[in-house]
Chain A
């Protein structure tokens, strides 16, 4: 390996882009098979936005549930389900 400083090369970008593409869920990957970088970046942005929205949504729902239920009794079940294979 040469000791040159890391320089942004086409191949590096292309490899990183393809790694990114593999992280997108199936549905979003369709249509980006030609790996146009603009399209891929756009899908990535949309995916991250949807994940942020999911965090918001799950926070709301968890909050509602916590109001009406006793988490102590659910504790064992929660921990069990987290460590299920």
Chain B
């Protein structure tokens, strides 16, 4: 079923778009890592960790480009140098979620740019965001495995 809601293609195979992005993601992230290692002082591992984390989200956003609302929102956040924070506190101990609406609201806080999306767009963007997130995580794992071997 063709979707007319998105502007650019993710028409038949969404993974096709991801493939080229993976290479961009990897090269962007690696360059950032090497830069971080060269320019960070030996003192703060926490500071370096924050920079690495930021580089992770940056490489995700740059490789997705501006064709997605989530990546545009992420790029805006990164450029404004605002702190990258995703809500974590909604734990199981919090009030039990009752209706769909509550979960959609929770989801809106987790996906960059979420608050301005309608339900349909939210689901599309979420799927794309998850694909890029999992790719980034796998990339980081691969880097770590090859460093530690």
User: Could you list which residues of chain A lie within 8 angstroms of chain B, going by C-beta atoms?
Assistant: 1, 6, 8, 12-13, 15-17, 19-20, 23, 37-38, 41-42, 44-45, 47-49, 51-56, 58-67, 69, 71-72, 74-75, 77-82
Residue of B26, B52, B141 touching A63 (CB-CB under 8 A): B52
B36 within 8 Å of A (CB atoms): yes
Q: How large is the interface on B (under 10, 10 to 19, 20 to 34, 35 or more residues)?
A: 35 or more
Asked whether, in the complex, the Cβ of B103 is within 8 Å of the Cβ of A17, the reply is no
User: Could you list which residues of chain B lie within 8 angstroms of chain A, going by C-beta atoms?
Assistant: 1-5, 26, 30, 33-34, 36-37, 40, 42, 45-46, 48-50, 52-53, 56-57, 86, 88, 90, 97, 99-100, 103-104, 106-107, 110-111, 118-120, 123-124, 126-127, 129-131, 133-134, 136-137, 139-149
Asked whether, in the complex, the Cβ of A71 is within 8 Å of the Cβ of B147, the reply is yes
Which residues of B have CB within 8 Å of A54? 137, 140
Pairs of residues from A and B, 6 with the lowest C-beta to C-beta distance, nearest first: A41-B103, A16-B123, A63-B49, A59-B53, A58-B140, A59-B52
Asked whether, in the complex, the Cβ of B139 is within 8 Å of the Cβ of A65, the reply is no
CA distance A79 to B27 in the complex (A): 9
**Is the contact region of chain B dominated by helix, strand, or loop, or is it mixed?**
helix
Inter-chain contact total with CB atoms closer than 8 Å: 149
Which residues of B have CB within 8 Å of A79? 30
Give chain B nearest CB distance to A49 CB in angstroms: 7
Which residues of B have CB within 8 Å of A52? 86, 88, 110, 133
Which residues of B have CB within 8 Å of A80? 146
Asked whether, in the complex, the Cβ of A12 is within 8 Å of the Cβ of B97, the reply is no
Give chain A nearest CB distance to B113 CB in angstroms: 14
- A sample of 6 cross-chain residue pairs with beta-carbon separation below 8 angstroms, ordered by A number, consists of A16-B120, A38-B97, A52-B110, A71-B33, A71-B147, A82-B139
Give chain A nearest CB distance to B22 CB in angstroms: 9
Residue of A13, A15, A74, A77 touching B119 (CB-CB under 8 A): A13
Asked whether, in the complex, the Cβ of B48 is within 8 Å of the Cβ of A67, the reply is yes
Residue of B49, B130, B139, B146 touching A48 (CB-CB under 8 A): B130
CA distance A51 to B22 in the complex (A): 17
Asked whether, in the complex, the Cβ of A44 is within 8 Å of the Cβ of B126, the reply is yes
Given A48-B129, A64-B45, check contact A56 B103 (CB 8 Å): no
